[in-house]
Amino acid sequence: MQLTLLQRQTCEQILDLYDKDKPVKVDFKAPTGSGKTLMASFIISALIEKETTEKFIFVVATPSSSSLPEFFEKKLNKYKSDLPYGKFEAEYIQSPSSAKGDKIEGTPKIIPAQNKVYIFGKASFGKGRIFSERGIINDFILSATDKGFALVYIRDESHIGGKKSDDDETKKFESLMQGAAKFVLKMTATPDYKDTSARKVILRESDLNNPSKNDNKFLLKTTPKLLLKYDIEDSEILKDAIENFKKIQSEYKTLGLPLRPCMLLQVDNEPTNKEKKKFFLSSLEAIKTELCNNGLAWAQYFGNTDKDSNRVYKDNFTLDEITEPNSEIDIVIFKIGPSTGWDIPRACMLVQLRDVCSSSLNAQTIGRIKRNSYPNLEKNEITDKYYIYSNATELDKDIKVYNYDVKEKFKSEFFAAITIANKKEITKAQATAKLNAAISDYLTTNKNNILQQLNKTFVKKGNELIYKKVRYSVNGNEVYSGISNPFIFLKEYKRLVNDNKFIYDKINKVSDDFYKQNIKNEKICDNSYNALPEYFYIVLFEKYKTELIAVINKHKQFKPIYKVDFLPYDPKSYSEIYDGDPITERAPKSNYLFDITNGEKNRQPLDSKPEKVVFNKLYDFAEGNEKVRIWAKNLTSSNISGEYLDDDKSVRRSFFDFVVKFDCGACLYIEVKDKNDINLDKTKQLKVAYANYFEKQGQKSLFEEPLSISVWQVNNDSITHETFYDKNKINKNLNALTVENLLKTISDLNLSAIVN
């Protein structure tokens, strides 16, 4: 299980906050389904691997004592083989109950062991538990402190705990852990922004599903289809859901994959009232009958001891078995509690019926059907959709649903979408015979520099060889972690080769020959060690990647041919679900592309402060300005995008953040970047593509009407820009203008005076 680019960058951001000299608290917010457990596992592993002088113990606390801690343990052990360091033990520890009169001989102890992960469910440290009442957890922490262990405390779903309703023992546990921990990581859906003592790390859904930010990976489905109406009866909702689900099953069959869609039907706990319980059970039986009448296979999971199905094996199944992509089970009827922490990516439909469900629809439940099930986390039109059918009385307070509708007057307006017309030829394109010679010449020219870098990257420390893995640079100074363990080093090497497979495949034959002739017999680290081929390739990928790509691209026969399609904006209608409160700004008026409904009429939700700054700048210019025909924040699900090639010659798509169409016919597409751009390489690739769009193909420009593409970099409230455009059509230096004057200049263009 490998981290995506954005997951890894987020983990590195959290790891960089660790301080050997003082305690640190971090609030980590990420959407349900974003892989928080995988990222927490990576952080545990990376801390052990990076901070070699620390004696760590890890405590993970979950809000449930039922299945969540058990799932956490299973996932952690499953992920070990793919982590930087996997030689640590993880154990789910349950406390006996004093309330049930469990006979305990003596007082059990929890012994702190280095690098071990202790996983507790909330009930283990609550009222009526041996661990709390006999001070066992207190003794555990005191023992760890006395022995010099550095405690890392990870609180999963921390927004669920820490409430006034928590009993005194639970509060004492939280106070004990956070007071003793050297590093506290609280994974939460609702960070307390007023708490300045905790650093904030935010991973947004819009970033996770932005292909240019996440290496063309989509962790979550992006296209919700909603039927949320309180006035519809259960039977009608279920009938509609079943009819649609059968259509979905047919669509999935066309994929040619061992992947079957699944409907989840959420059920609440049985009422204690006799009459209500009778009604509840009869409603549940009616649902099962309807499913059977429609030929659907269902499984009921209310816990390990409360299972059933309409298959011949009845209750002889596990959650893992019905999770499998090709499981025969079509419908899973489940309760939230026993299945908390359970992942089933093939699930694409959630049905909540008022008579058997809780009164609210929450983010955790919706998150179960949002995970991307398509192979390699690629996006597919069929598997990208997720469906929610509910007549619940209310949405959870953290859920915000925004419905977008393109205004009727703009449905026939056209926008430019840029594609690579000859992308099918990429796989056929071969490098010229001169490439090998060019690579050889480059390596020979840089032989001495490569040897110097080998001696900088691999250093002697005591009696060990240390690989200085650079994490980031500050004011020209490199911050690195030292790796001496050969197994960890080989994992890092394999990861680096895999991440740079495009380059490796092109240069490895020539590079191997160069290594044998020029590097193999060299000594490094004061003549103490041989320069192994793995050391050589690490230096090439870390220090010479840009130059090697330039040599490869120079000798690559393939050159993209761009074409433009002028299309009406699609989709015409779209729904967007936010987990938490997005940033919202003033409601745009008549010349905004969409009507947006959510309680607050037409208020546009935004994902970041830089977007807010740009939105306000456009709002101030566009509202009431007759020279602006249309403006909008572009949806990442739209057809208005630009294709480009990355360094590996893979086709990517850039979804412009904002689009502006002026009354003169000219357009401006805007890409928003923060001053602290976390992915400079991707931004460089975008800028190269944007520049290429405006190179003439033959004697004709790509765009019939002037289009400008501008990268706006936001620094607090100020904006600088780099703008790409056809200089034969716009005879002005747009890059010398402020963003205000850029907007004004494009809006004032006289297209009748421009010749294509």
Task: Write the CB contacts of 5 (distance below 8 Å, at least 6 apart in sequence).
Answer: 213, 214, 215, 217, 679
pLDDT of residue 469: 78
pLDDT at 666 over 80: yes
> Lowest mean pLDDT: which of 244-253, 361-370, 537-546, 697-706?
697-706
Give the model confidence (pLDDT) of 695-738 as tens digits.
866 556 677 778 999 999 999 889 999 999 988 888 889 999 99
Q: In 567-708, where does DSSP find H-type helix?
A: 609-622, 680-693
- Read off the pLDDT band of 670 (50, 70, 90): very high
Using alpha carbons, select from 575, 507, 578, 500 the residue that is nearest to residue 541. Answer: 500
Q: Provide the pLDDT for residue 697.
A: 60
* CATH code assigned to 223-397: 3.40.50.300
Which of 67-76, 304-313, 358-367, 486-495 comes out lowest in average pLDDT? 358-367
CA dihedral for 738, 742, 743, 749, sign (positive or negative): positive
Looking at 315-433, list the stretches that DSSP marks H as alpha helix, in order from N- to C-terminal side: 319-323, 363-367
3-class SS of residue 208: helix
What pairing do the DSSP bridges indicate for beta strands 658-662 and 651-654? unpaired
User: 372 CB contacts (<8 Å, ≥6 apart)?
Assistant: 218, 219, 220, 221, 345, 379, 383, 384
Q: Indicate the pLDDT class of residue 129, thresholds 50, 70 and 90.
A: low
As a dihedral over the C-alpha atoms of residue 108, residue 114, residue 117, residue 118, rounded to 10 degrees, the angle is: 20
Helix (H) or strand (E) holding 458: strand 458-461
Q: What band does 349 get if pLDDT is binned at 50, 70 and 90?
A: very high
Whole-angstrom distance, CA of residue 648 vs CA of residue 678:
19
Please say if the pLDDT value at position 502 is more than 60.
yes
pLDDT tens-digit profile of 158-193?
A: 555 445 445 566 778 888 888 899 999 998 766 777
pLDDT at 259: 95
Using DSSP bridges, classify how beta strands 298-301 and 414-420 pair: parallel, antiparallel or unpaired.
unpaired
Other beta carbons within 10 angstroms of residue 111's beta carbon come to 8
CA distance 114 to 55: 6
Considering the chain, tell me which residue range(s) the CATH 3.40.50.300 domain(s) occupy: 223-397
Average pLDDT, the chain: 83
pLDDT in tens, 422-469: 877 776 655 566 788 888 899 999 888 988 888 888 888 888 888 887
pLDDT in tens, 315-344: 999 888 999 999 999 999 988 765 566 789
664 in Cβ contact with 751 (< 8 Å): yes
Query: Over 70: is that where the pLDDT of 375 sits?
Result: yes
Residue ranges matching CATH 3.40.50.10810 in the chain: 5-205
Amino acid at 344: I
Of the candidates 608, 159, 563, 593, which has an alpha carbon nearest to the alpha carbon of residue 407?
Answer: 593
Residue with tokens 């959420």: 266
pTM of the model: 0.71
Is residue 79 within 8 Å of residue 22, measured between CB atoms? Answer: no
- Give the range among 93-107, 269-283, 474-488, 638-652 with minimum mean pLDDT: 93-107
Q: Cα 320–123–192 angle (5° rounding)?
A: 95
Q: Which residues of 645-672 are buried (b: 16+ CB within 10 A; e: fewer)?
A: bbbebeebbbbbbbbbbbebebbbbbbb
CA distance 214 to 624: 37
> Contact, 301 vs 339, CB < 8 A?
yes
By three-state DSSP, how is residue 86 classified?
Answer: coil
CA distance 304 to 189: 28
Nearest CA to 62 among 177, 140, 146? 177
What residues have CB less than 8 Å from 26, skipping those under 6 apart? 14, 17, 183, 184, 185, 186, 198, 199, 200, 201
Measured distance CA(711)–CA(725) in Å, rounded: 12
Q: What's the confidence (pLDDT) of residue 391?
A: 79
583-620 per-position pLDDT tens digit? 777 778 889 999 988 766 678 888 788 999 999 999 99
Architecture of domain 5-205: 3-Layer(aba) Sandwich (3.40)
Q: In this predicted structure, what is the pLDDT of residue 754?
A: 58
674 and 713 in contact (C-beta within 8 Å)?
A: yes
Amino acid at 741: N
CA-based nearest residue to 308, from 334, 282, 339: 334
Non-local (6+) Cβ contacts of 193 within 8 A are 200
CA dihedral of 495, 498, 502, 508, whole degrees rounded to 10:
80
What local confidence, expressed as pLDDT, does residue 631 receive? 95
Q: Could you tell me which residues come within 8 angstroms of residue 199 by beta carbon, excluding any fewer than 6 positions away?
A: 17, 24, 25, 26, 27
| Cα distances (angstroms) measured from residue 226 to each of 74, 218, 223, 356, 402 | 33, 21, 10, 20, 11
Per the model's pLDDT, the better-predicted residue between 700 and 658 turns out to be: 658
Burial label, 250 (beta-carbon count in 10 A; 0-12, 13-18, 19+): exposed
> Do residues 96 and 129 make contact, with C-beta atoms less than 8 angstroms apart?
yes
